[in-house]
């Protein structure tokens, strides 16, 4: 659009719109910086447990350490596995859907099983529990679970803070 064709009021409106957008963006960045600063201060003053909640400086240090140790290679492998898994799952799903659409008999046979599978939580379909923090070598304090969310203090929000 030619700028000469815009009226003075239209130019002023566009300028105010751009200023409001800039103001919103700067406020969002300010809130993020303030949040990170308060988080860092609380962790340094030992008000929150930095082992559980970490702190921004330690996260940044870990990120830079990982970046120097083939982080992009690992991200590439993860993206590749995600895309392959998505394509395989989608392809199998489409193939099964076509078969069930094509065969009235198979769709009636599979219907109750598909209804049951659809009603199950997707987490229940996992094949093993090794990566959910469960371990037999932990104390009985958490009933054999080393994951902090499974401990008895989950209903008490003050477990995050060191000084109770």
Q: Look at residue 34 in the predicted model and tell me its pLDDT.
A: 97
pLDDT in tens, 131-162: 555 444 444 444 444 444 444 444 455 555 55
What CA dihedral angle connects 9, 12, 17 and 19, to 10 degrees?
-170
Place of tokens 């109770």: 164
pLDDT band with cut points at 50, 70 and 90 for residue 64: confident
pLDDT band with cut points at 50, 70 and 90 for residue 55: very high
For residue 129, the SS3 value is coil
The answer to whether the beta carbons of residues 160 and 53 sit under 8 Å apart is yes
According to DSSP H, which parts of the chain are helical?
8-44, 50-53, 56-67, 71-102, 104-119
Q: Look at residue 70 in the predicted model and tell me its pLDDT.
A: 84
Domain spans of the chain, in order of start: 1-69, 70-119, 124-155
What is the share, in percent, of the chain residues with pLDDT greater than 70?
73
Query: From the CB of residue 79, how many other CB atoms can be counted at a distance below 10 Å?
Result: 10
pLDDT band with cut points at 50, 70 and 90 for residue 128: low
pLDDT in tens, 104-126: 999 999 999 999 988 888 777 76
Distance, CA of 80 to CA of 124 (rounded, Å): 25
Alpha-carbon distances of 77 from 74, 80, 84, 85, 89, rounded to whole Å: 5, 5, 10, 12, 18
pLDDT band with cut points at 50, 70 and 90 for residue 130: low
104-119 helix and 71-102 helix, angle to the nearest 10 degrees: 140
Q: Look at residue 1 in the predicted model and tell me its pLDDT.
A: 53
Give mean pLDDT, residues 35-54.
93
Total residue count of the chain as it appears in this document: 164
Query: From the CB of residue 113, how many other CB atoms can be counted at a distance below 10 Å?
Result: 9
- Asked if the model's pLDDT at residue 44 lies above 80, the reply is yes
């Amino acid at each position: 659009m030619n700028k000469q064709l815009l009226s003075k009021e239209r130019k002023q409106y566009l300028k105010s719109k751009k200023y409001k957008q800039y103001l919103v963006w700067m406020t969002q960045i300010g809130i993020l910086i303030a949040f990170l600063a308060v988080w860092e201060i609380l962790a340094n003053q030992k008000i929150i447990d930095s082992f559980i909640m970490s702190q921004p400086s330690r996260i940044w240090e870990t990120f830079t350490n990982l970046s120097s140790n083939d982080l992009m290679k690992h991200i590439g492998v993860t993206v590749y596995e995600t895309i392959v898994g998505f394509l395989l799952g989608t392809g199998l799903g489409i193939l099964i859907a076509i078969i069930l659409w094509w065969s009235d008999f198979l769709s009636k046979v599979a219907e109750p099983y598909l209804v049951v599978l659809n009603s199950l939580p997707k987490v229940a379909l996992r094949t093993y529990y090794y990566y959910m923090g469960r371990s037999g070598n932990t104390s009985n304090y958490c009933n054999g679970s080393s994951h902090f969310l499974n401990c008895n203090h989950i209903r008490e929000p003050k477990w995050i803070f060191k000084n109770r």
